[in-house]
Amino acid sequence: MYLCPVTRGRLSDGRSPEGRRYPTLDGVPVLVTDPDRFLARHGPGAWDMSQGLPTRRIEDLPVDAADPVTPHLPPSALGGTGSFGKWLQTLGERCPDQVCAQWGIELAPNGRALDVGCGVGPMARRMAASGRQTWAFDHAPRAVLLARDLLLGRLKETVVPTSRGGLQRVRWPFKPLSDRGLHFFIADAANPPLPEGAFAWVHLGNVLDIADDVAGSILSACVELLQPGGLLTLSTPYDSDEVGLLGASPPEDELREAITALGLSLTEQDEQVPWVVREYDRGFRVLSCHCIAARRPVR
Ligand SMILES: C[S@@+](CC[C@H](N)C(=O)[O-])C[C@H]1O[C@@H](n2cnc3c(N)ncnc32)[C@H](O)[C@@H]1O
């Protein structure tokens, strides 16, 4: 039987395989529709198709993923030289996570928090540090395991890329959080096997722009997970491609319409939040993000 990671009760959504417990990967529940197939592709022992040989490792983060530490840092702590570094200093703490976390902490009712598509867990860390029981998931096993190991203090240091292909050791700069208040699992955001209405605060950080044709399903799944009066916080980089995921450019109106069509009322918006992604010590990407907070009606 599959057990719910939130209530510890039986999953009653009809989407999970019957008659068995869900498997775990290094202690993390794998709550996907077909876990055996998923683990065969992404878990230890997965076939490395480039070599034609079974590997003994969990697949790495995508090559364009940021290192595990800097997504947690405010722009002013990211380094950067010359006038660019000075500009980062002017941003101080301001970044999509900080903006959305402030809304969540101030506006969400008491109750559980959920970080959807958590990556290496920058928002899960803020949620749990604010004292809420927090759950976080992603469909990338490596990201979830790294998030767990860093946030719970199992990994004291990691490496981040530097220029010319080098690596630099970096100590994890935050206090460990308790595993009593922070829980991880692996799942698909378009089909999360969680109880409806279980969360007071759901965050969707920079997932929609890469979700292609499942963006709408992810958004509506997040809304279903909100309790009445619960708050969705969302950040997404501007996407002005003709084939933008929610339609033609500019997508902001369409995103707002999609959220209100799902029955939420927009409570906060900031369309110009810079998201600085450090790729290595002399390489940064700056994306302009749209941050939104929206509330599910109380009844
Ligand atoms: C750009 S990263 C953002 C990570 C984190 N939310 C943040 O803001 O730093 C996007 C994340 O979404 C995850 N993701 C994309 N589609 C997903 C899906 N359908 N289900 C679960 N996670 C997904 C990716 O694996 C990746 O970790």
Is 267 within the bounds of a domain? yes
What is the pLDDT, as a whole number, of residue 128? 98
> What span, in angstroms and rounded, lies between the C-alpha atoms of 222 and 196?
9
The H-or-E segment that residue 91 falls in is helix 82-91
Find out whether the beta carbon of 189 lies less than 6 Å from any atom of ligand 1: yes
Percent of the chain with pLDDT over 90: 60
Ligand 1 pocket test: pick from 78, 138, 186 the residue with the most ligand atoms within 8 Å of its Cβ: 138
Q: Give residue 147 CA to ligand 1 midpoint distance, Å.
A: 12
Residue 250 has pLDDT above 70, yes or no: no
The mean pLDDT value of the chain amounts to 86
**Phi/psi of residue 253, nearest 5 degrees:** -60, -40
- Beta strands 283-295; 226-237: pairing state: antiparallel
pLDDT at 282: 83
**For residue 140, what is the domain's CATH number?**
3.40.50.150
Please tell me the distance from the alpha carbon of residue 190 to that of residue 220, in angstroms, as a whole number. Answer: 8
**Is 54 within a domain?**
no
Confidence at residue 248, expressed as pLDDT on a 0 to 100 scale: 46
pLDDT for residue 170 is more than 50 = yes
Q: Write down the pLDDT at residue 147.
A: 96
Query: Does the Cβ of 71 fall within 6 Å of ligand 1?
Result: yes
Name which of 207-211, 278-282, 283-287 the model is least confident about: 278-282
- C-alpha 207 – ligand 1 centre gap (Å): 5
Say how many Å lie between the CA of residue 31 and the centre of ligand 1: 16
Mean pLDDT for 204-228 is: 93
**Helix, strand or coil, per DSSP, at residue 5:** coil
36-50, 118-132, 150-164, 208-222: which has the minimum mean pLDDT? Answer: 36-50
177 in Cβ contact with 204 (< 8 Å): no
Task: Give 12's pLDDT tier (boundaries 50, 70, 90).
Answer: low
Residue 21 counted as domain residue: no
pLDDT at 38: 85
* Nearest residue (CA) to ligand 1, atom 13: 117
Ligand 1: which of 139, 207, 218, 238 to mutate, most ligand atoms within 8 Å of CB? 207
Q: Is 274 helix (H, G, I), strand (E, B) or coil?
A: strand
Q: Is residue 16 part of a domain?
A: no
Read off the amino acid at residue 12. S
| Range in 56-65, 134-143, 278-287 the model is least confident about | 56-65
pLDDT at 206 over 50: yes
* Domains: count for the chain: 1
User: What domain range is 215 assigned to?
Assistant: 60-295
Q: Is residue 45 part of a domain?
A: no
- Report the share of the chain in percent with pLDDT over 70: 83
Domain membership flag for residue 5: no
Residue carrying structure tokens 């209100």 = 260
Q: What is the pLDDT of residue 21?
A: 67
CA quadruple 266, 252, 202, 128: dihedral, nearest 10: -110
Higher pLDDT, 282 or 289: 289
Q: Does 245 have pLDDT greater than 90?
A: no
Q: Tell whether the model's pLDDT for residue 17 goes beyond 60.
A: no
Q: Is residue 11 one of the residues assigned to a domain?
A: no
